[in-house]
């Protein structure tokens, strides 16, 4: 059976493709999820995608991943820089965690330079555009063997 990867996107990422495209690009979240599902199938994985603008809903989905997923790809959006709750939930998850930022957060405002999630992440991808999600999947395939 294909190993499941939970793909989580946080606040405002539902607006991908329409929100500041000079920073986040022209691909929509639906495009990202479809491309991720296609690559996952090639790699013998399957994707369960979820986006929410709400911190607690993301925590709930991370907790659910404890039961059904071997890995999590997470772009926590602005919660990267604020959320101890998301970090705590990820610390309770035993699988692989890869953190993705579409933009290079280190080249942006100082408040974006720190991510709570990075303390748990097995890998961090930033500044690779939406391709970062696909790079994350390839890394997960390597780590899961």
Instruction: Check binding of 12 to ligand DHK (CB under 6 A).
Output: yes
**Helices 131-144 and 29-42, axial angle in degrees (round to 10):** 30
Instruction: Check binding of 75 to ligand DHK (CB under 6 A).
Output: yes
- Which among 26, 54, 79, 101 is annotated as catalytic? 101
Interface mask toward ligand DHK for 112-131; x: CB under 6 A: x-------------------
CB 8 within 8 A of CB 50: yes
Instruction: Identify whether 101 is a catalytic site residue.
Output: yes
In terms of Cα–Cα distance, which of 137, 142, 3, 2 is closest to 74?
137
Q: Which of 58, 97, 105, 121 binds ligand DHK (CB under 6 A)?
A: 105
Instruction: Check binding of 48 to ligand DHK (CB under 6 A).
Output: no
Measured from the CB atom, the residue of 13 and 40 that comes closer to ligand DHK is 13
Spatial strand order in the sheet of 123-126: 45-51, 3-9, 71-75, 96-101, 123-126
With contacts defined by CB under 6 A, how many residues of the chain interact with ligand DHK? 10
CB 69 within 8 A of CB 5: yes
- Which among 24, 79, 116, 133 is annotated as catalytic? 24
In terms of Cα–Cα distance, which of 57, 131, 66 is closest to 93?
66
Q: Nearest 5 degrees, angle CA 109-CA 82-CA 46?
A: 100
Instruction: Check binding of 83 to ligand DHK (CB under 6 A).
Output: no
Residue numbers in the known binding site for substrate are 75, 81, 88, 102-103, 112
- Interaction site with ligand DHK (CB under 6 A): 12, 75, 77-78, 80, 101-103, 105, 112
């Amino acid at each position: 059976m294909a190993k499941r990867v939970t793909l989580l996107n946080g606040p405002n990422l539902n607006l991908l493709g329409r929100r500041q495209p000079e920073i986040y690009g022209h691909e929509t979240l639906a495009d990202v999820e479809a491309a991720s599902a296609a690559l996952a199938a090639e790699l013998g994985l399957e994707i369960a995608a979820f986006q929410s603008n709400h911190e607690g809903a993301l925590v709930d989905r991370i907790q659910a991943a404890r039961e059904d997923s071997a890995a999590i790809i997470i772009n926590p959006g602005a919660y990267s820089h604020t959320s101890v709750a998301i970090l705590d939930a990820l610390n309770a998850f035993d699988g692989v965690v890869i953190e993705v930022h579409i933009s290079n957060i280190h080249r942006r405002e100082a408040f974006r330079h720190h991510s709570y999630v990075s303390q748990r992440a097995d890998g961090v991808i930033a500044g690779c555009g939406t391709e970062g999600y696909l790079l994350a999947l390839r890394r997960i395939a390597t780590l899961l063997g």
